[in-house]
Copies of this chain bind each other. A is one copy, B any other.
């Protein structure tokens, strides 16, 4: 295993240390228990927005803490849910009296631990609502999941809920728009290589020299099938078709197209996939009116990509376009 780390067991804390120093204007990194909050504290009158999950998917979630997106992020160990005692202070620190929305990817550990933390916060009198992200169309149940997994669609949920909170929406309204994004977003990914969890030290799965896995999960969970490596056009079609079919996209609709890198794939290849995915959507007479291409929800150094499509309307476009200032998204 060759990784730019000191003690693999301290990978998350060491990385967060550097992250906190590099972005001290945006975030404060707390180590006991581990969580990340906005440097400027909660905004009076604004609904707090909190997310979290296992580390190893950077920049998710801590890279999205800042103006117009998250108020706090809670990273667990690599590919491991954060614990309720980490999540609770993140919720508390994000509450300015207007309540807090938690955004949770649908993995059993995350769901249980966020539920526990939310109950503890509610017992203290905080208003907390939750939304579950389950955008991965690849499989119905998975290694760590009952129901569909939450993957790169989470970026859209966090951006849009964050924008709704920033414009002053109530907790009910922020939760409602987040739910609307969840209903309208779907993703599917492909792995060209496996990744290695630092404290494990060996690849999470084996993939042949010329083999790829369609429908891979962001922790290397099995997808739909393994096929021989082929051209980007063919691979992209195997991602776009299930996503567009599952969304039941109709001619004339407009969408956000997010091509997300798994961490180890060059940006240049992501743009090839983006171009192909856009052609496929246009063949369906679907308009790509918003785009995002880059490494946003990764699986350590895995080579591969995912395609995410979000059905848009005027309100969602406005919220997507609203200003955001975080380490990983800024406009």
Contacts and interface: CB of A to CB of B under 8 A. Distances in A.
Interface of A: 2-7, 11-12, 14-19, 21-23, 55-56, 58-59, 63, 192-193, 210, 212, 229, 231-233, 235-236, 263-276, 278, 288, 291, 293, 295, 298, 300-301, 303, 305, 325, 330-331
A42 B257 CA distance: 29
Contact of A274 (B2, B22, B231): B22
B272 A4 contact: yes
The listed residue with most B CB atoms (<10 A of its CB), out of A12, A55, A291, is: A291
A227 to B, nearest CB: 12
A298 B55 contact: no
Nearest to A273: B4
Interface secondary structure of A, over-half rule: mixed
A61 to B, nearest CB: 12
A113 B244 CA distance: 46
Contact of A58 (B6, B235, B236, B267): B267
A25 B58 CA distance: 27
Given A265-B301, A268-B56, A293 B22 contact: yes
A261 to B, nearest CB: 9
Given A192-B4, A303-B301, A269 B15 contact: yes
B6 A231 contact: yes
Contacts of A276: 18
Given A15-B269, A301-B303, 6 more contacts: A5-B232, A6-B232, A11-B268, A14-B272, A18-B272, A18-B273
